[in-house]
C-alpha cells in the first residue's frame, strides 16, 4: 500500500531553524510536494522535488532522496506566521497526477 | 471567478439526504480532484478526473460519485449522506501536476 509518515507535532521559537521530515513508501514516484495549511484554510503550495537534492526558495528549502524514500522541509528564520500544518504529499502515478498526503505536521512557533 | 470556487461554504445535512458539492475552476486545468480532510487522518483522495469526460476512484470513494462534463466543473455527489461523511471537503485542480495544485477554500459538511 501507499504510506507517508511525518511527525504529528513540532515546536520551535522565533528566529530558529526547524526541519520537518517525511518518509514515504509508494508504488511508483513522480514527485514530492510540500504544502502549508493554516487552521481553517486551504493548503497552499510550498515546494516540489522530483530529483534528488535540495531546492531552495527564500526561507524554505526542501530536500529529496528517492533511494531512501525521504524528504525534509527546512524552515529558517522562523516567524510567528509560520505556525501552521505542513503537509508532505507524493504523486505516484496510479491515479494520474493525484497526490497522496501524509497526515501533516503541526508546527507551533513561540516568541 | 479567480482560481477555484467551492459551494456551499458550509452545510448541515440530515442523514439520508442527497447533496451535491459544487466545484468550478477558471484556470483551464485538465485535472481536478476531491479530497476530504478529517482530524488525525489528513487529506484523503475521494475521486479524481485527469481530463473532461474521465473520472477515477481515489482512496475513499464509497458513498460518493463525481462527473466531469466539461473542463471547468467537477461536482461531488453524496447519494444518501451518513454521519461518517461529516468532514471538510476540498476540491483541487492542476495543469500538469508539476507545479503544485490549487485548492478551493473548502466545504465544511456536517451530517446529523
Q: Where do we find the cell 447533496?
A: B19
CB B45 to CB A31 under 8 A?
A: no
**What is the C-alpha separation between B78 and B34, in angstroms, rounded?**
12
Q: Do B56 and A95 touch (CB under 8 A)?
A: yes
Query: pLDDT digits over A13-56, tens only?
Result: 999 999 999 999 988 888 999 999 999 999 999 999 999 999 99
Closest CA to A110 of A81, A86, A80: A80
The pLDDT value given to residue B100: 75
pLDDT digits over B86-111, tens only?
999 999 999 866 667 899 999 999 99
List, as ranges, residues 14-73 from A with C-beta within 8 Å of B: 30-31, 33, 35, 41-45, 48, 50
Which strand ranges, in their side-by-side order, compose the sheet holding B76-78? B4-7, B19-25, B76-78, B64-66
For chain B (112 residues), the mean pLDDT of every run of 10, in chain order, is 90 98 95 94 94 93 97 97 98 79 95 98
Total beta-carbon pairs less than 8 A apart between chain A and chain B = 62
A32: nearest Cα among A104, A110, A99: A99
pLDDT bracket for residue A95 (50, 70, 90)? low
- Measure B106 CA to nearest chain A CA, in Å: 7
Interface of B with A in 84-103 (CB under 8 A): 90, 94, 96-103
Q: Are strands B10-13 and A3-5 parallel, antiparallel or unpaired?
A: unpaired
Residue among A30, A42, A48 minimizing CB distance to B106: A42
B89 neighbors B36 (Cβ within 8 angstroms)? yes
Q: Which residue of A has its CA nearest to B5?
A: A42
First to last CA, chain A: 41
Residues of chain A with Cβ-Cβ distance to B102 below 8 Å are 45
Amino acid at each position: 500500500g501507499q504510506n507517508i509518515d511525518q511527525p504529528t507535532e513540532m515546536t520551535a521559537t522565533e528566529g530558529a531553524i526547524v526541519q520537518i521530515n517525511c518518509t514515504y513508501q509508494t508504488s511508483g514516484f513522480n514527485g514530492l510536494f510540500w504544502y502549508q495549511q493554516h487552521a481553517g484554510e486551504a493548503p497552499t503550495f510550498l515546494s516540489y522535488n522530483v530529483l534528488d537534492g535540495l531546492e531552495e526558495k527564500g526561507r524554505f528549502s526542501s530536500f529529496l532522496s528517492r533511494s531512501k524514500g525521504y524528504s525534509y522541509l527546512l524552515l529558517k528564520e522562523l516567524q510567528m506566521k509560520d505556525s501552521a500544518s505542513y503537509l508532505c504529499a507524493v504523486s505516484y502515478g496510479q491515479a494520474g497526477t493525484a497526490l497522496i498526503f501524509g497526515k501533516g505536521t503541526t508546527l507551533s512557533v513561540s516568541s | 471567478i479567480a482560481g477555484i470556487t467551492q459551494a456551499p461554504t458550509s452545510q448541515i445535512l440530515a442523514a439520508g439526504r442527497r447533496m451535491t458539492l459544487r466545484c468550478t475552476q477558471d484556470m483551464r486545468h485538465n485535472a481536478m480532484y476531491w479530497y476530504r480532510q478529517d482530524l488525525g487522518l489528513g487529506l484523503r483522495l475521494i475521486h479524481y478526473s485527469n481530463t473532461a469526460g474521465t473520472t477515477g476512484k481515489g482512496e475513499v470513494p464509497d458513498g460518493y460519485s463525481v462527473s466531469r462534463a466539461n473542463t471547468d466543473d467537477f461536482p461531488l455527489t453524496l447519494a444518501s449522506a451518513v454521519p461518517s461523511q461529516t468532514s471538510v471537503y476540498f476540491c483541487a485542480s492542476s495543469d500538469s501536476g508539476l507545479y503544485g495544485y490549487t485548492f478551493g477554500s473548502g466545504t465544511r459538511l456536517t451530517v446529523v
